[in-house]
Structure 1
Amino acid sequence: MIEYIVPTNIDDRILNRAAAALKNGGLIAHPTDTSWHISCASTSSLGLAKLKVLKGGAKGYLFTLMASEISQISHIAEISTPQYKLMHRLTPGPYVFVLGSRRTLEKIMGMKRKE
């Protein structure tokens, strides 16, 4: 099913269907500033499995995690005080931050911890 969200006239029913799809292991496509992304809920093992299939199932896959607030990142990534201050100063903005993962994220994504 294809649904469109018009920024000038947001339909809550469509947002609720997208949220339900994510919660139930579905995928959604959405635009970013430069391209389109396919996303799933980071807590959904079914959604992550679907993304891995789309990426070809290769080992060492990389995922981009998005958050609406910096505070959401702290439970999945290790953020030092200087990193937090830098992120706080630069966001919102067109930046990608590469951070070390916490065990919580590794468990969710089925990753093995590197020694």
Structure 2
Amino acid sequence: MAKYFDVHPENPQRRTIGNVADSIRSGALIAYPTDSCFALGCQLGSRSGIERIKSIRNLDDRHHFTLVCENFSQLGRFVHIDNDVFRAIKAATPGSYTFILPATKEVPRQLLHPKKKTVGVRIPDHVVTQALLADLGEPLLSSTLLLPDEEEPMTQGWEIKERLDHVVDAVIDSGDCGTEPTTVIDFSGGGAEIVRRGAGDVSRFE
């Protein structure tokens, strides 16, 4: 049965956030809100977490997982960025964007795209997520909480708790959450390729 954490959207309770971070360090898989929609998250090196996310979402090995980072300094440890791409991403973060980039050796092998050796990264503009990332001290391995055969992610914490009670370990609820996943931009080929149009404005990358 999943634990349910009711978190204030503007002033997250420090003790509650600390409890969630501790559970992630202990191997928990959580459902949590972001600036785009709810996501599934686990510790960076958690093999069981990866497999559980794949099972819940019915994903194959070609799926790009995302490293949700607290800030640009943290993001830079996990991906290679040249100067032009750096400026483009810097101008769009924090925000509802996921960027696909060549991964550094810091990224666990099982997270890499099997052919491209790339990974998704993002910096969310969400108070609760930022508080959790700050306490955790490392990125969250994440994937949009979009269930198989459904067109839109779930938006209510109580509904997620009800439907995924036996497949996730915790649900963070901080009120309303959006329904649009992030906009995904692939920079691994040099230029900006729009892979998915979502919550982030794509005009700056067209």
Calculate the TM-score normalised by the size of structure 1.
0.80
The structure carrying a bigger helix percent of its residues is 1
Displacement after TM superposition at 1:20 (Å): 0.9
Q: 1:25 aligns with which of 21, 24, 27?
A: 27
For the residues of structure 1 that align with 2:95 and 2:112, how far apart are their CA atoms? Answer: 29
Q: How many residues align?
A: 114
For the residues of structure 2 that align with 1:9 and 1:112, how far apart are their CA atoms? Answer: 37
For the residues of structure 2 that align with 1:106 and 1:47, how far apart are their CA atoms? Answer: 13
Answer yes or no: is the 8 Å Cα contact 1:30–1:38 preserved in 2. yes
The gaps in structure 2 that reach 5 residues or longer are 117-206
Find the residue that maps to 2:107 and give its secondary structure.
helix
Partner of 1:35: 37
Partner of 1:14: 16
The structure carrying a bigger strand percent of its residues is 2
Partner of 2:115: 114
For the residues of structure 2 that align with 1:23 and 1:106, how far apart are their CA atoms? Answer: 16
Partner of 1:87: 89
For the residues of structure 2 that align with 1:51 and 1:63, how far apart are their CA atoms? Answer: 10
Identity %: 25
1:20-55 CA distance string (max 9 Å, x none)? 111111111112233211111223223223222223
Find the residue that maps to 2:106 and give its secondary structure.
helix
Aligned-residue Cα RMSD (Å) equals 2.3
Partner of 1:96: 98
For the residues of structure 2 that align with 1:110 and 1:94, how far apart are their CA atoms? Answer: 21
Q: 1:71 aligns with which of 70, 73, 89?
A: 73
Displacement after TM superposition at 1:106 (Å): 4.0
Answer yes or no: is the 8 Å Cα contact 1:106–1:113 preserved in 2. no
1:4 and 2:9 are equivalent in the alignment: no
The gaps in structure 1 that reach 5 residues or longer are none
Displacement after TM superposition at 1:95 (Å): 2.4
Calculate the TM-score normalised by the size of structure 2.
0.48
Displacement after TM superposition at 1:94 (Å): 2.9
Partner of 2:141: none
For the residues of structure 1 that align with 2:5 and 2:14, how far apart are their CA atoms? Answer: 12
